[in-house]
Amino acid sequence: MSDHYEVLGVDRNATQDQIKKAYRKLARELHPDVNPSPDAEEKFKLVTHAYEVLSDPQSRAQYDQGGNTFGFGDIFENFFGAPQRGPRSRAQRGEDALLHVQLDLAEAVFGAVKILTIDTAIGCDPCSNSGIKAGTSIKTCDVCRGSGQIQRQVQSFMGVMVTTTTCNVCRGSGQTVPNPCPDCRGQGRIRAKRELELEIPAGVSDGLRLHLPRQGEVGFAGGSSGDIYLEISVTPHSIFGREGDDLTAVLEVPITDAALGAEVQIETLDGPTKVKIEAGAQHGDVLTLKGLGANRLRGKGRGDLKVQIRVLTPQRLDSKQKDLFKKLKELVTDEKPRLAIRRSKGRF
Rounded to whole angstroms, the Cα distance separating 122 from 192 reads 7
**SS3 label, residue 97:** strand
pLDDT > 90? residue 73: no
pLDDT at 245 over 90: yes
Is the CB of residue 299 less than 8 Å from the CB of residue 271?
no
Q: How far apart are CA 81 and CA 154, in angstroms?
A: 14
H helices of the chain, in order, are: 4-8, 16-30, 40-54, 57-66, 72-80, 105-110, 255-260, 319-331
Q: What pLDDT is recorded for position 69?
A: 33
| CA of residue 253 relative to chain centroid, distance | 42
Q: What is the mean pLDDT of residues 35-45?
A: 77
Q: Is pLDDT above 90 for 337?
A: no
Taking residues 105-111, report their average pLDDT: 97
pLDDT, residue 87, reads 75
pLDDT of residue 83 exceeding 50, the answer is no
pLDDT of 348 > 70? The answer is no
Contacts of 263 (CB under 8 A, 6+ apart): 274, 275, 276, 277
Cα–Cα distance between 124 and 137 in angstroms, integer?
Answer: 16
Judged against a pLDDT cut of 70, whether residue 86 lies above it is answered with: no
| For the chain, percent of residues with pLDDT exceeding 90 | 57
Q: What is the pLDDT of residues 260-300, one digit of tens each?
A: 999 999 999 999 999 999 999 999 999 999 999 999 998 78
Q: How confident is the model at residue 180 (pLDDT cuts 50, 70, 90)?
A: very high
Taking the mean position of all CA atoms in its chain, how far away is CA 143? Answer: 44
pLDDT band for 39, please (50, 70, 90 cuts).
confident
Residues 6 or more apart whose CB falls under 8 angstroms from that of 122 comprise 189, 190, 191, 192, 194, 218
Answer whether residue 201 shows pLDDT above 50.
yes
Radius of gyration of the chain (CA): 33
- pLDDT above 70 (res 347): no
Q: What is the structure's pLDDT at 278?
A: 96
Instruction: Give the pTM.
Output: 0.65
Q: What domains are defined for the chain?
A: 1-69 (1.10.287.110), 70-234 (2.10.230.10), 241-331 (2.60.260.20)
More confident residue, 70 or 223: 223
